[in-house]
A and B are shown apart, each in its own frame.
Chain A
Amino acid sequence: MADHGTHEHHESAHEGAHATNQMYVRIAIILAIITLVEVVIYYIPTIRSVLVPALIVLSLAKFLMVVGYFMHLKFDSRLYRFMFASGLVITLGVYLALLAMQWTRGYWFPLPAA
């Protein structure tokens, strides 16, 4: 938590200085291109083996760009960043652990399927 008291967020929240409409359009174009790349690599059989990591990296890039630029988190107060990041980190930590447990446990179905 921000323990330095109340005076550290002076220069918060004036994103106008950092981001312009041209930049937004440029980011949107990059986002569109990444999406296109994602769909294209989905259809290329030869790179199947790296498809999953590639997709994860690409969508992570999209995620960070939208959060950083469109939601201004890159320029906004550290406090917002801390808040959103804590939600994200806890979610990731908890659910990656859950998935690891569920996926390795397997599933037992001795009966015919419904």
Chain B
Amino acid sequence: MASIAQPQIQAPTLPKPQAEESGLWSWLTTVDHKRIAKMYGISAFLFFLLGGLEALLIRAQLSRPENNVVDAQRYSELFTIHGTTMIFLVVMPLSVAFFNLVVPLQIGARDVAFPRLNAFSYWTFLAGALILYIPVLFSLPGIFAHAAAVAWSNILGSPLLNGVQPWFDANLPFATVVPDQGWYGYAPLTESLFSGREIDFWALSLQVLGVASMAGAFNFIVTIINMRAPGMSMMRMPMFTWSTLIVSILIVLAFPAITIALVLLTFDRLGGTMFYRAFSLTDGTLVTAGGDPMLWQHLFWIFGHPEVYILILPAFGLVNEIIPVFSRKPLFGYAVMVYATAAIAFLGFGVWVHHMFTTGIGPTPVAAFSASTMLIAIPTGVKILNWTATMWGGSLQFTTAMLFAVGLVSQFVIGGLSGVMHAVVPVDTHHNDSYFVVAHFHYVLFGGSIFALIGGLFYYWPKVFGKMLDERLGKIQFWLQFAGFNLTFFPMHFLGLAGMPRRYSTYSFESGWWFWNIIASIGALMIAASVLIFLINVTRTTRFGRQAEANPWDGSTLEWAIPSPPPVYNFRITPLVTHRDQLWHDKYDRVQESAGRPDQVADTIVAIDQLPERSPVGVAVAEAEAEEGHIHLPNPSYYPLLLSIGLFLLAFGILVNNPHIQLGFFGIPIISAFGFLLLVTALYGWSFEPAG
């Protein structure tokens, strides 16, 4: 055991680092994890609003039988884009925003291990999102025009506006290339025989988004393993950091499967291969092509099931932070929680066939994967138990964040139970492709992920922006959202069991499904209202919000030891970690422990900065920095942005390719060639960029 730093070491007086830069250029070139977190968060929230708009259109269409708010084609586009948006452009990036914000602070680091890679991750995410959304944005006017035309002719009996939507479709670029095949893009629907350019947009967008996710995930694994403050052993890490680590491992192992699956799909569509094509049409006759649509389903769900854990584990991580703080108790069963998370991640790779029970895959796979799916519910149940036990006997404070966290616990139980019901194969045969499945995944994704992420926004808002969100509006939002959510999605269980299939644009009156459908649509409006309240809350808070202290919730992890909002350099002096709930230990335990002792230790760990801890190494680094005259931070860089632009152009060039914009030889799209050049240049510039 090394010796403890001598008490007489003086806290070095650090020169104040230059004021944080502002202006557009500083944002474009930033590598600061907190700014990247904000950009991720804001983008994800904008997509949340767009995805919500699409959901409202879906619910409007289904609100009564044989409705015509949107036509069947538009309806397919809407549910495809809604699903893809919510999964890839909302829940994932919002989780990544929290990773970026929280992880470096929780482990006591100045930034992530590879700050530029982090910036690259964000810009690439934006590039992928744009590829998907360029067609969507151009198709929205047509959708609204159609709705207006229908309303006009229903109310006034005149077909005046009927020509508007076709006009938009014909004249707006990209308006007709909105993907319409569903978020899991089953072959052979995605083959060129049955679809058009829209699938290329979808496929390339997901590939680019995959690059972004993987870049971020690699970075977080290295950061968490290598950048922890002294004394923070793995088993002293806060649970959110653990969740980030495990989710990142899932990302780097799951995304390759879909990336290759999409590459093969792109080859099928643009390169003439037949990976997913069982039959093709040659001279008007069907012939065996040799490919197998089942391969797509396998590869997609080999990614897809780990993906659902990528979506839920960050939310669990947030709940792991929120519940103990507002129960005024350390998390019950920390180690078990860690192992349960790891077990879920590991088992998550062994259950994918439960999405394929009804494909006729055969009794052995069905039995094996049914068993593994039931198995995975066990570690999930363990978590529920731990949260309940954490709250048990605690002095509960129902702040908005806590309400949302407890909301997750209750709603996720419902979703988890319907998941276990799907695991029972005879039952799933009835559920499959019905609204029952829609109910299941909304209970886990909305009642689970989104609830916790919104709770996380309330919990971390003061840390990021230095202002407290209004608690009264927050509680109104919660109850409205909670009620609206259950009103929308609980009836879908009934609808599914009554036989209502998913993805049909309408239904007949005789089916009897209209009652629960109108209820669900009313619930959707309530959810919309709750989101509106949140927006009002944010605006009000920005204007008049109460200033937040460093630790407004009396949290126990390191991020609460520094001011709100945190300075650019996070910690002036790298903290020394001695306990899992460090701040609680410092505040509550040490007083008792050091009472009556000739305690050098209590002297050693005197408050230097905001933080009541310091470490020999941290002090040494700080002294060195004081000598140099500044705190050492990574330099801003524009190469990440350039690299992402290159990637965007590379993909976009393929999408808008036509004979007029090709290079003379090989028919290479000019835009792609330019993108590739930019990419290579940026890569070299990046690797030779001088030190920060």
Contacts and interface: CB of A to CB of B under 8 A. Distances in A.
- State yes or no: do A and B touch (Cβ within 8 Å): yes
Interface of A: 1-6, 79, 86-87, 90-91, 93-94, 97-98, 101-102, 104-105, 107, 109-114
A6 B286 contact: no
Contact of A4 (B233, B253, B280): B233
A113 B287 contact: yes
A13 to B, nearest CB: 13
B289 A3 contact: no
Interface string B602-643: 000000000000000000000000000000000000000000
B294 A102 contact: yes
B362 A104 contact: yes
B406 interface: no
A86 to B, nearest CB: 7
Interface string B266-296: 0000000010001110100111111010110
Nearest to B352: A94
Contacts of A3: 233-235, 338
Given A79-B225, A105-B361, A5 B234 contact: yes
Contacts of A87: 253
A40 B572 CA distance: 66
A113 B288 contact: yes
Contact of B342 (A1, A5, A111): A1
B245 A1 contact: yes
B503 interface: no
B228 A6 contact: yes
B355 interface: no
Kindly list the 10 A-B residue pairs having the minimum CB-CB distance in the complex, ordered from nearest.
Answer: A5-B233, A109-B288, A114-B287, A111-B288, A3-B234, A3-B235, A113-B288, A101-B365, A114-B289, A112-B287
Contacts of B286: 111
B542 to A, nearest CB: 40
Contacts of A97: 350
Contacts of B679: none
A114 B253 contact: no
B290 A114 contact: yes
B302 interface: yes
A104 B286 CA distance: 26
Interface string B339-371: 000100010011001000000011011000000
B495 interface: no
A114 B346 CA distance: 41
Interface centre among A79, A98, A114 (most CB of B within 10 A): A114
30 contacts: A1-B234, A2-B234, A3-B233, A3-B235, A4-B235, A5-B235, A6-B232, A6-B233, A79-B225, A86-B253, A90-B346, A90-B349, A93-B349, A94-B257, A94-B350, A98-B302, A101-B361, A101-B362, A102-B298, A105-B294, A107-B292, A109-B290, A110-B288, A111-B279, A111-B287, A111-B288, A112-B287, A112-B288, A114-B288, A114-B290
Contacts of A2: 234
Nearest to A83: B221
A113 B350 CA distance: 35
A77 to B, nearest CB: 11
Contact of B280 (A104, A107, A114): A114
Contacts of A104: 362, 364
B302 A94 contact: yes
Interface of B: 225, 228, 230, 232-236, 245, 249, 253, 257, 274, 278-280, 282, 285-290, 292, 294-295, 298, 302, 338, 342, 346, 349-350, 353, 361-362, 364-365
Contacts of B282: 114
Contacts of A93: 349-350
B122 to A, nearest CB: 25
A93 B228 CA distance: 32
B287 A5 contact: no
Contacts of B274: 114
B231 to A, nearest CB: 8
Nearest to A95: B302
Nearest to A79: B225
B615 to A, nearest CB: 12
Contacts of A5: 232-236
B290 A113 contact: yes
Nearest to A114: B287
Contacts of A114: 274, 280, 282, 287-290
A6 B237 CA distance: 11
A107 B290 CA distance: 9
A42 to B, nearest CB: 26
Nearest to A106: B362
B234 A4 contact: yes
A112 B283 CA distance: 13
Given A109-B288, A109-B290, A113-B290, 5 more contacts: A1-B234, A87-B253, A91-B253, A97-B350, A105-B294
A94 B235 CA distance: 29
A90 B249 CA distance: 11
A97 B298 CA distance: 11
A94 B290 contact: no
Nearest to B282: A114
Contacts of A98: 298, 302
A30 B230 CA distance: 45
B233 A105 contact: no
Contacts of B236: 5
Interface centre among A2, A90, A110 (most CB of B within 10 A): A90
Nearest to B236: A5
A103 B142 CA distance: 47
B362 A105 contact: yes
Contacts of A113: 287-288, 290
A80 B242 CA distance: 19
Interface centre among A6, A107, A113 (most CB of B within 10 A): A6
Contacts of A102: 292, 294-295, 298
A41 B110 CA distance: 58
B192 to A, nearest CB: 15
B12 to A, nearest CB: 24
B399 to A, nearest CB: 32
A87 B233 CA distance: 24
B362 to A, nearest CB: 6
B595 to A, nearest CB: 29
B304 to A, nearest CB: 12
Contacts of B234: 1-6
A5 B230 CA distance: 10
A109 B232 CA distance: 60
Nearest to B362: A105
Interface centre among A2, A101, A109 (most CB of B within 10 A): A101
Nearest to B229: A6
A72 B279 CA distance: 48
Contacts of A101: 298, 353, 361-362, 365
B37 to A, nearest CB: 24
A73 to B, nearest CB: 17
A94 B362 contact: no
A112 B286 CA distance: 8
A109 B274 CA distance: 14
Nearest to B279: A111
A50 B447 CA distance: 55
A93 B302 CA distance: 11
A68 to B, nearest CB: 22
